Amino acid sequence: MQLLTGDNSFEIEREVARIVDAFHTVAERIDGSELELRQLPDLLMGATLFATKRLVIIKNLSENKIIWPVFGDWLGRVSDDIQLVLVEPKPDKRTVAYKALQKQADVKEFKVWTERDGSVAESWVMAEAKKVGIALDTKSTHALVTRIGMDQWQLYHGLEKLLLAGDSSVTMIEAIIDARPSENVFNLFDAALRGDRQKVSDMLKTLELTEDPYRLFGLLSGQAFQLAAVAVAAPSDEIAKDFSVHPYAVSKLQAVAKKLGRAGAREVIEAFAKADDDMKISRGEPWLVIERTLLSL
């Protein structure tokens, strides 16, 4: 009996596929949220006419308000001829059923990567690229992860694009891989701090076509906060780890923070605080407020 949990749907799907492949039979896949109590005996205790060994995969059973509260009572009745796999991305760990599963099932938790997992992501990308025959060097790997982020689904699809293109160079990555919103925001913020007014205006015109201004402003405010954190941190502080910021971003911000100093970083924060007030009370069109704030830097 196995319980697969966590918010990393990519790794969960891979683990399910591995289990199915190892079992060498067709799996019975059940939507647990729609399962009825009367179906449990046949599902967990009965054999079929065609196979004595069965693989039963039930997803989202914790969403079933009838079965989940009493499911712990059924665990001891599961037939030895049935391999039961429960997939629960976000189960309530306080429930009786979950506590019972902790004692009786093999529990595996799969967590999504955060910005601090950059080295893990790059190692994984290189390993995946090797599996499918893509010659991906360290520089291209870093460029791909930086451009896409920590989402394994997107990284996997990015590798598929490179495989079809037959070219894994940094130039090709920048040409065919869409940059994640946070990467666009990082470049936008960096252009503002460097005083590149033309690039700021051009990027905003492009982002205005696809992005929500309030979401974009939130991401930019996060960049301003990170800059302030870097500016006040001691050189020995583990900034990337403490604030879940990619080490590459920290290295870029450190150069700017050194130039601005604490006083300059404070002015950046004050500019965003004023813009936040303007956005909240609708003092100006959102995109104009964003552009005015960035150009003021």
For the chain, what is the mean pLDDT? 88
CATH class, domain 115-176, is: mainly alpha
Domain boundaries, the chain: 2-109, 115-176, 181-296
pLDDT at 191 over 70: yes
Q: Note the pTM of the prediction, 2 decimals.
A: 0.68
For the domain covering 2-109, report its CATH number. Answer: 3.40.50.300
Token code pair at residue 149: 């982020």
CATH number of the domain at 181-296, please?
Answer: 1.20.272.10
Residue 255 has pLDDT above 80, yes or no: no
pLDDT of residue 240: 61
For residues 294 and 47, the model is more confident at 294
pLDDT digits (tens, 9 = 90+) for 142-172: 999 988 888 999 999 999 999 999 999 999 9
Would you put residue 17 in left (φ > 0), alpha (ψ -120 to 50) or beta? alpha
Which of 96, 150, 113 is CA-nearest to residue 7?
113
23 pLDDT more than 80: yes
| pLDDT at 233 exceeding the cut of 80 | no
End-to-end CA distance of the chain: 58
Structure tokens that stand for 111 in this block: 């967590």
In three-state secondary structure terms, 283 is coil
108-116 mean pLDDT: 90
pLDDT tens figures, 86-101: 999 999 999 999 999 9
